[in-house]
Structures are given as C-alpha cells and as structure tokens.
Amino acid sequence: MLQYQPVEPSVEVVFHALADANRRAMVDRLLDGPASVSELAEPLSISLPAVVQHLHVLEGSGVVRSRKVGRVRTCEIEPQALSRAERWISERRALWEKRLDRLGDFLAADSDEAATKRQSNTPEQPSKRRPR
C-alpha cells in the first residue's frame, strides 16, 4: 500500500505561480510585509474572487502562506519557495557560464592555431634585390 508523503512543491510549480503578472505584483507587495487579501487586491484591476484564485495558486506553490484571524485573511511571503527558484536559476547560470568559458577558450585556441597556420603556409616572397 502506498503512503502519502508530503513533498515540497517543485520548482516548476513555483515558476508557474510566478508566470502571471498579477501574482508577481502580489508577491512584490508581500516582499514589503504581510498584507490582507483586500490590500493585495487594491492596486490590481481584477475582481476580489480573481485575487483569491491567484492566491490559491501562490499558496499551492508554497510561495505565499495565509492565516485567517476573525474575518481578515493575512498573507505573507514564504522565502524558501523563492530560494528554490533562485537556486535553480543559479545552478543553470553557473553551468552555462562554464560552457561559454570553455567555448571562448576553444575559439581563442582555434583562432591562435589558424593564425599560426596562416603564417607558416605563407610562401616566402622573393627578394626584391636584383642580382648583380
């Protein structure tokens, strides 16, 4: 029998959550500190139910968590989820920097080799002196 083991949301889910401009605006606001759902909805030109749907996506990705106190639902950023995405990007950046460095080294060596071959394959020019 399979047992359920909770796993942290994958980096794909985090990127999916951050793919929408409204959700990114909410995350940007939450970077300043916790905010209520109505405070998050205020600058956006979407309905309150749409804001709630976006928050569900952000919560499902682990980027945001919320708690309800009385009638007010307060949301706050969950930095670990953003750290996962940042780490994933950093790993890819380091990989591509290494690859591009190796390509640059290869091209520089190839260029030096080609220049050397051109110099060695150049036929000697006859002397311009006239025999006496």
Say what the pTM is: 0.69
The answer to whether the CB of 29 falls within 8 A of the CB of 76 is no
22: tokens are: 């409204």
For the segment 47-83, what is each residue's pLDDT rounded down to a tens digit?
Answer: 999 999 999 999 999 999 999 999 999 999 998 888 9
